[in-house]
Structure 1
Amino acid sequence: MMVGRATRWLAVLSVLLVPLTACASIPEESDPVAVREADERNTTTEVTPPPDNLDPLGLVRRFVDSASPASNHEAARMHLDDLQAKQWSPGPDLLIVDNVDTIPAPPPPEPLPEGVQLVTVQADRVGRLLKDSSFVPDVGEYETTVRVELQPDGKWRIASPPAEMVVSRDAFSSVYRSVPIYFLDHDSTGVVPDLRYVASQPASTLPRRVIDLLTAGPSERMQSALRTAIPPGVHPRTNTSEATGDGALEVNLSKLGEVSDEKRWLIAAQVVFTLQKVSNARVRLQEEGLPLLATEQDLWPTDLTRYEIDNMPRQDLGGLAVIDERIKRLDSRADPIPGPAGSGEYQVLRAGQSPDGRKIAAVTRRSPDEVVLRVGPYGESLHELGALGSFMSKPTWRGDDEVWTVIGGRDVIRARSGETGWTVQRVDSAQFTGGRQITDLRLSRDGTRAAAVIDGKLVVSAVADRDGSVVLERPTTLPSPQGAQILGLEWRDKESLAVITDSNGFPVYDVSVDGFRWRAYTSANLGQPMKMITVGPGPTVIVADRSSIWSSPEPGDVWSLLEPRIGSSSLPFFPG
């Protein structure tokens, strides 16, 4: 892709004998920014105009590096001529690009007037920051041509800017930061994150801006999966700021109406967990200037842990593994678990343990060409459900009483425990799969998202509950670097996944749930083909390659042989 661009560049330069300098570099510091338009108008920020001697190529590159949205994109407008600086009205989305080139455009049929040059911007699409401050991936090449004119004062300025705001990835990352905004899970018992991106400056207004995102509700793609305890129309009554004298962060909401005490605690959990990434202060919650809660005034996240849904396995439960078609403990002795699943009575191919550790779901061999799903208490007989197929994916749990699998790579089913026993239902996954093949499926432990490997690609979807049925809605494909094929996945924590690929150079990645960030683990010690991935407490990522099973706590750490040492055909797994 980059070679093609270089070839086009040389071809153009051979025609245009215009002395233009190279692209401008990305500025090391970014201008202060604000998110909401109302805040931006009331915020004084210093922005630096382009250098007087900047040529057209450097001017356009610097324009693409102007990520600050402050004062209606004032930093970007400084690169425009007087007319466009007043009239330019980009849409609400922000297009993020990478590998940016600014090159002379081919000469038009009619000669350009003196003091006018055309510059082409070529880049790779990364994604878009949507109006609700969420990121969605985008792929393909980006190209646009802008007209640059020499002004009476001798400075070059853009006379025809792009219709949308285009920002380089590096500039975006230097100005914006990811912030999890917390909403309620599918049964409204705990809080889970909805990842957004907000400008990090000015820091003094950052708490107010994230609370504005909270009161506005879940992002568009997650509206069907997440809930909120905050009634419609409620907003911050005053600016979210430190209270005078004692350093508490004061959040004063408008009148809630008739709200139960439990719902007030849920609101408190949403607010406090949302603010924990942008402030270290305790949070003082108010409603119209009065305490929100009858018994507490100031809260820390540790006061609300009962509402936090952990997306990692419990440390105290340890791990299990399918070894030689038996389920065994993942400890120094690797003893079989009690019951038929450990004794060998069942031919276990793959399995999953409920988050509380009390139940086991296992895919077992029923005949040479048929497998069946079994579910039951840990250490006891597992009930054979009616779900049959030639292949079933590794079971994945949604809470302690619901387990999912994929039959034949096509049909997503869920088995639910009720008063009359286990029942099996088909999940509406038409949007999710589009008729394509699913080879791995994992539910987030909060039950609001599904992630899958579909035709070698990583796809994430909202899990929407609708009158007793479940729909996988608004799927998003997260494009992998260099087009690597995804082979397997597991949830690493609340905001990211761990995946294995077919790449020799980058066989394992940590991926943010929206696909904006891909962090590669080292490839040292690993050899293709990669066979399996799971995540244990810590989180510790565990993978199986062609010969061994390895573990690593962080992308920057080396891979260590898993203890106890078990064969690469074994399948370790942890609750969830």
Structure 2
Amino acid sequence: MRRTGRLRAVFVRVAALCSGLVLVAGCATVPEESQPVAVPQGELGQASNPDVPQPARDIDALTVVRDFVHASAQPLSNNGAARLYLADAGKDWHPGKVMNVIDDQFNTVYSSGGEPPQDPNQVVVFIHGTSLGMLGRDNAFIPAKRAYDMPLVVQKQTDGQWRIVNPPDTMVVAYSDFTANYVRVPVYFFAQDSNTVVPDLRYVAGVPQSGLADRVVRLLLSGPSDQLSGAVRNPLPEGASTDGTVTATGDGALMVPLTGVGDQTQEVKRMIAAQVVLSLQTVTPNRVRLLSDGVPLVDGQAEWLPSELPSYTGLASPSADQPGLMVATSRIRSLGDGGPIQGSAGAGVYNAISAAQSIDGRQLAIVDEEGGRQRLRVGGFGREVPLVSSPGGPLSGGTLTRPTWRPSATADGTAGEVWTVVDGETVLRVLRTPDGSWMPQVVNAEDVLAVGPISVLRLSRDGARAAIVINGQLLVAAVVRTQDAVQLRGLRSLQTGALTGVVDVDWLSQDSLVAATTMPSQPVVKVPIDGLRMDAFNSSNLTPPVRSITAAPGRSVVVADSGGLWTASDVGEVWRPHPHTLPKASPFYPG
């Protein structure tokens, strides 16, 4: 009875812990190599699949659990490699299709609590580590750094080998194993009110290579990730699918046989073509043959390369004739030649603290200071920049964050929306009215403000996301628009614990950020928008503190430190002095 009670207590404790972890994780549908299949059994109850490596003989229970974690990232044969570490070859294991990604540095230790096991052939082994986040049901990585503790019961089998008898419902994989077996793919949707594509970072199994393109297309057809739902639009209609698999043809093309899209307009079909071709460009160099119910999707063009698509990012990138600007000694100056810009902003009429130029280059937003209060001005570039009015007078506060522009959505191509945060607590979008004045409206930022006061907010240049700094932590949220309101939703904290002291951030590309920090060893870092990794720029030549940063697609990163402005093009490059540096200057590219 004592032995029975002891085993029952162990399993109750294990089940309780595991169920708690599952509640946190949720459920997911990670694309696999194939549909679940029965695992063939060899002698001694082990799986006999030649495609997966067999466990080493006579390894101890701790090694069994560690090797099981490493093998869990291998998707081949219905996670056949991981099943070999389970009792009866895991024939009853039906894990949820979610992955808990943990740091490479993890431990497997015997349980030290309670009485020693009564059965010498059974032990409880804990996986102790740090969870970096989860791969969600939408195949998007959700960063969430926390302690990870998972107990597993390991039992010696009749052949003398230790095997796990209660595998977790939620798969756990180490970071390096995950990145080695899964491919990050941007799948593309469109901004809500423009023809600007928006990348949505997702992960698919990288093997076998022959089925990779098919997995990407199926992921695209499943729609945007949970975070971007409501922040983007999907030209692919509900019910769109493929008539068979995506396969390579004998003449070197990749055939995508779509169905359910034949009744769309030619304009929509071209947008669908852009979605498919751009989403596939990271996994294949082949021409893409796009069919709709057996005929070319777009009349007159059956095959596509990314270079043959019209530009769907023009509104999200500053043009080459806009070198960027800086605020220095209360004036707005050009990064191109260091001289003041035309108009009152360049003449020093306003006591400018920060500023932002619209992506189209035609508009300028300035935060100035008077009488201890900061105020927002918006107007045409090179002209007068009037104060923005609010019901109580000029829009002002103790602090206003550096303005940030939404890309143009107006018929004449002129930007009509700029954002700022008042006193860290009120997120405002300021809209251009038909008579040319500017009107502030409050953005629903409840989820964001629950974390703390906002010190920096930068809209992505496609308008679908916002990068935010709160208490030195970097976060990303989706910008969800309805007919009546705008909301910041789907908040993600990036590199929690590893990335601290963030003082400024900007969009290096549509799916990556650069941040300036107070960390002496990592004053400038690059982070993808899903926060799975972080890369530090070379810190040579910089003199902390780094005060501000700006970046844009195809542009060098520019930072301001205690000595002036510096530029670099990549993380490994040594910082070079900017040719037009000025003391205490704050640089900014359009956006």
TM-score if structure 2 supplies the norm length?
Answer: 0.87
Q: Aligned runs of 1:357-372 on 2, under 5 Å?
A: 357-365=361-369, 367-372=370-375
8 A Cα contact 2:560 2:587, kept in partner: no
The residue that corresponds to 1:35 in the other structure is 31
> Residue 321 of structure 2: SS of its match in structure 1?
helix
Instruction: Please tell me whether residue 315 in structure 1 is matched to residue 311 in structure 2.
Output: no
The residue that corresponds to 1:73 in the other structure is 79
Describe the shift of the 1:274–1:39 C-alpha distance in structure 2 as closer, same or farther (beyond 3 A): farther
Q: Aligned runs of 1:518-557 on 2, under 5 Å?
A: 518-536=534-552, 538-557=554-573
Q: Tell me the CA shift for residue 58 of structure 1.
A: 1.4
The residue that corresponds to 1:53 in the other structure is 58
Between 248-257 and 84-93, report the one with greater CA deviation. 84-93
Separation of aligned partners in 1, 2:451 and 2:222: 35
Q: Which amino acid aligns with 1:284?
A: R
Separation of aligned partners in 2, 1:181 and 1:453: 26
Q: Aligned runs of 1:280-291 on 2, under 5 Å?
A: 280-291=285-296
**C-alpha offsets along residues 280-332 of structure 1, whole Å, 9 cap, x if unaligned?**
11111111111111121111112223223575433321111111101111134
Separation of aligned partners in 1, 2:349 and 2:585: 18
Separation of aligned partners in 1, 2:341 and 2:571: 32
> Residue 270 of structure 1: SS of its match in structure 2?
helix
Describe the shift of the 1:188–1:240 C-alpha distance in structure 2 as closer, same or farther (beyond 3 A): farther
Separation of aligned partners in 2, 1:214 and 1:316: 35
> Residue 49 of structure 1: SS of its match in structure 2?
coil
The residue that corresponds to 1:298 in the other structure is 303
The residue that corresponds to 2:502 in the other structure is 486
Separation of aligned partners in 2, 1:42 and 1:194: 34
Separation of aligned partners in 2, 1:214 and 1:206: 13
Separation of aligned partners in 2, 1:299 and 1:383: 48
Describe the shift of the 1:535–1:45 C-alpha distance in structure 2 as closer, same or farther (beyond 3 A): farther
The residue that corresponds to 1:404 in the other structure is 419
Separation of aligned partners in 1, 2:124 and 2:450: 42
Q: Tell me the CA shift for residue 501 of structure 1.
A: 1.7
Q: Tell me the CA shift for residue 536 of structure 1.
A: 4.5
Q: Which amino acid aligns with 1:466?
A: T
Q: Tell me the CA shift for residue 441 of structure 1.
A: 0.5
Instruction: Please tell me whether residue 461 in structure 1 is matched to residue 477 in structure 2.
Output: yes
The residue that corresponds to 2:340 in the other structure is 336
Residue 383 of structure 2 is aligned with which of 380, 385, 392? 380
8 A Cα contact 1:310 1:494, kept in partner: no
Separation of aligned partners in 1, 2:314 and 2:492: 23
The residue that corresponds to 1:575 in the other structure is 590
**C-alpha offsets along residues 58-80 of structure 1, whole Å, 9 cap, x if unaligned?**
11111111102333322211100
8 A Cα contact 1:309 1:446, kept in partner: no
8 A Cα contact 2:33 2:208, kept in partner: no
Describe the shift of the 1:275–1:42 C-alpha distance in structure 2 as closer, same or farther (beyond 3 A): farther
> Residue 383 of structure 1: SS of its match in structure 2?
coil
The residue that corresponds to 1:9 in the other structure is none
Q: Which amino acid aligns with 2:339?
A: D
Separation of aligned partners in 1, 2:533 and 2:177: 15
Separation of aligned partners in 1, 2:336 and 2:388: 30
TM-score if structure 1 supplies the norm length?
Answer: 0.89
8 A Cα contact 2:473 2:502, kept in partner: yes
Describe the shift of the 1:430–1:492 C-alpha distance in structure 2 as closer, same or farther (beyond 3 A): same
Cα RMSD after superposing both structures: 2.0
Separation of aligned partners in 2, 1:335 and 1:107: 70
Q: Which amino acid aligns with 2:396?
A: L
Q: Which amino acid aligns with 1:370?
A: R
Q: Which amino acid aligns with 2:31?
A: V
Q: Aligned runs of 1:227-246 on 2, under 5 Å?
A: 227-244=233-250, 246=251
Instruction: Please tell me whether residue 419 in structure 1 is matched to residue 424 in structure 2.
Output: no
Residue 112 of structure 2 is aligned with which of 103, 106, 110? 106
Describe the shift of the 1:532–1:228 C-alpha distance in structure 2 as closer, same or farther (beyond 3 A): same
8 A Cα contact 1:266 1:307, kept in partner: no
Residue 220 of structure 1 is aligned with which of 222, 226, 249? 226
Q: Which amino acid aligns with 2:359?
A: P
Instruction: Please tell me whether residue 249 in structure 1 is matched to residue 258 in structure 2.
Output: no
> Residue 316 of structure 1: SS of its match in structure 2?
coil
8 A Cα contact 1:432 1:474, kept in partner: no
> Residue 167 of structure 2: SS of its match in structure 1?
coil
Q: Which amino acid aligns with 1:69?
A: P
Q: Tell me the CA shift for residue 489 of structure 1.
A: 0.6
Instruction: Please tell me whether residue 356 in structure 1 is matched to residue 371 in structure 2.
Output: no
8 A Cα contact 1:312 1:539, kept in partner: no
> Residue 242 of structure 2: SS of its match in structure 1?
coil
> Residue 264 of structure 1: SS of its match in structure 2?
helix
Instruction: Please tell me whether residue 272 in structure 1 is matched to residue 287 in structure 2.
Output: no
The residue that corresponds to 2:197 in the other structure is 191
Q: Which amino acid aligns with 2:538?
A: T
Gaps of 5+ in 1: 1-33
Q: Tell me the CA shift for residue 389 of structure 1.
A: 1.5
Between 67-76 and 264-273, report the one with greater CA deviation. 67-76
> Residue 250 of structure 1: SS of its match in structure 2?
strand
